[in-house]
Amino acid sequence: MSVAKNLLAGRIVEDGLFPYPRLREKDREVLGMVLEAIDQFLAPHREDFKRWDREAAQPEEFIQGLRDLGLFGLIIPEEHGGLGLSNAGYARILSQTSTHDSSVSLTIGAHSSIGMKGIMLLGNAPQRARYFPKLASGEMIAAFCLTEPAAGSDAASIRTRAEKAADGGWILNGEKIWITNGGIADVYTVFARTPSDAGKITAFIVEAAWPGVSHGNHEDKMGIRASSTTTVSFVDVKVPAENVLDSEGKGFKVAMAILNNGRTGLGGGAVGGMKTLIGLSAQQAQARKQFGEPIANYELIREKIAQMTLECFAAESVVWMVAHYIDSGMDDYSVEAAISKVYASEAIQRAAYEALQIAAGTGFMRDAPYEQAARDSRILSIFEGTNEVLRLYIALSGLKDLGKSFGELKAAVDDIFNHPIKGFGVLADYAEKRLTHATGVGRDKILGKIPAPLREATATFEKYTVELAKAADYLLRKYGKSIAGRQHMLKRVADMTIDLFVGLCVLSRATALAAEPGDAGRQAVAIANAFARQAKRRLANNVRRIERNEDEEMDLLANFILDQGRYPWDVIQ
């Protein structure tokens, strides 16, 4: 039962949020050993990371070091030579590597989060036995090949084709672009159109060493420059039948399963990057004196440090909640995973901006780490699903499920005169929902478990869960299916869902930490309260703007500029 989708129906699913999950004991043990080894290996490379960023390269000896540390086998089961970490444990490792360098996290992450994830989630026993040991040791590095020149967000429109060969295998032709690890990978998960069922997509495991497979030059990128990004081409590549992942025609489902499952890796990386920025900012603010005092004494600087910390805590809370959903075998977590990616990727970009602002002129100099952090974090809202497309996904997935219940309701209401009992359950559910909207009944459901200092925050999330349900209800009735094209409205629904789900994760974590002695527990409660107050302002604004907004004016303005193709005003005229 998706916690986020339920929010749109006015329900807070307590069991999906409380108590805040803890890392598995087995993960803790592995992490205890690996995290220290990671720090020992990466810390001495600090200057190298800067140089490799400029040179846009990650030397082979360094990648060998990553292999030696076992960083390519993090999630591969132990029986195949990996560390067998859960999603939560894996995200924690990427968080650690990201405190040192984003490109390192990307090399490891593209391998585990997306490159070999298809084999992990949907590979059959022979595929796992054949590839896992080499993927675990890093003898084989993996990459994920979906994007093409004309197929970015619209991944279903790919043109790479695989035709059936006489021997039952496949002949693969096409070109993929911007493939992370493209230049260093030995095995690619490739998505291609296949002839059956009107050109459906099929996923293949393709080895780089096979004739007809090649890659282009290392792309000259804005950020994460040391990580390998290249085109990958396939010319009459013979792919054996046994290298189809899952089954023929199921490739789109495979791609989405991989991307949904991999999002907490990206989120974990963002959290690690934020932790480094917070540490740098705290030190810089204490060290830098202006007007006779450390700038740390000024409220405008303190506000930035507090806000970065609050958002890092929120990102951490949501990422590990979602990792727990995945690890506990929940089926329907794609909306929550999208929320964690959108929130964490935007939080680190705000943190990179503010950390650079605290360092000011020093921050603008390439010697300092801030400009690289600003460049490196920029990719996070672009790849693995742009944040625009993910916002649409969050809103539409929630509304679609709600729409279904309206459909059921309609049938039930039609039916109720003939079969009163059959229609009763749905109608009762509906009535309860209406009652909750009208009176706030149901508020005490989770309130009882929350410590007193967090009750006001709880009340905020409960109130706006009802407001979100009302908004969703209103939008579905007003627009019906055409809501899919109302992107201004969908963004509001998505932003409300994000604020509520992230806020509830923060609340759950703060509830768990509140009981702990010392400042950290007290500060976690303060963070939850501050998050709730900030979220309340955003939520109220989004609710208001469902009915009163400037959408029409903005659309007309966009039309005008798109027609002109330029900004038309000038003070000279």
Q: Which residues here bind ligand FAD, judged by CB under 6 A?
A: 110, 143-147, 152-153, 178-180, 221, 229, 379, 382-383, 386, 388-389, 392
Cα–Cα separations (whole angstroms), residue 395 to 151, 399, 486, 488, 492 = 23, 6, 11, 11, 8
When the beta carbons of 443 and 491 are compared against ligand FAD, the nearer one is 491
When the beta carbons of 56 and 382 are compared against ligand FAD, the nearer one is 382
Rounded least distance, CB 154 to ligand FAD, Å: 6
Rounded least distance, CB 36 to ligand FAD, Å: 30
Rounded least distance, CB 253 to ligand FAD, Å: 16
Contact (Cβ atoms closer than 8 angstroms) between residue 171 and residue 163: yes
When the beta carbons of 262 and 369 are compared against ligand FAD, the nearer one is 262
When the beta carbons of 56 and 389 are compared against ligand FAD, the nearer one is 389
Rounded least distance, CB 255 to ligand FAD, Å: 9
List CB contacts of 235: < 8 A, sequence separation 6 or more: 173, 212, 214
- What is the number of the residue whose Cβ is closest to ligand FAD? 152
Tokens of 333: 């977590």
When the beta carbons of 81 and 152 are compared against ligand FAD, the nearer one is 152
When the beta carbons of 31 and 379 are compared against ligand FAD, the nearer one is 379
Residue 207 neighbours by CB distance under 10 Å: 15
Rounded least distance, CB 73 to ligand FAD, Å: 20
Give the DSSP H or E segment for 207. strand 201-207
Which of 64, 76, 71, 80 has the alpha carbon at shortest distance from 31? 71
CA dihedral 183, 185, 189, 194 (to 10 degrees): 50
Contact (Cβ atoms closer than 8 angstroms) between residue 471 and residue 528: no
Residues with catalytic annotation?
A: 384
Rounded least distance, CB 463 to ligand FAD, Å: 30
Give the DSSP H or E segment for 436. helix 420-439
Rounded least distance, CB 131 to ligand FAD, Å: 18
Cα–Cα separations (whole angstroms), residue 18 to 22, 126, 344, 446, 450 = 11, 40, 21, 9, 10
Contact (Cβ atoms closer than 8 angstroms) between residue 387 and residue 339: no
Tokens of 47: 């200057």
When the beta carbons of 30 and 146 are compared against ligand FAD, the nearer one is 146
Q: DSSP string of 124-182?
A: -HHHHHHHHHHHHHTSS-EEEE--BTTBSS-GGG---EEEE-TTS-EEEEEEEEEEETT
Cα–Cα separations (whole angstroms), residue 34 to 40, 71, 116 = 10, 9, 21
Identify residue 447 by its one-letter amino acid code.
L
When the beta carbons of 155 and 321 are compared against ligand FAD, the nearer one is 155
Which of 416, 435, 436 has the alpha carbon at shortest distance from 426? 416
Tokens of 245: 């992942």
CB-based contacts of 543-550 (< 8 A; 24+ apart in sequence) = 543/464, 543/467, 543/471, 543/496, 545/492, 546/471, 546/474, 546/475, 546/489, 546/492, 549/488
Cα–Cα dist 32/541, whole Å: 44
Rounded least distance, CB 297 to ligand FAD, Å: 40
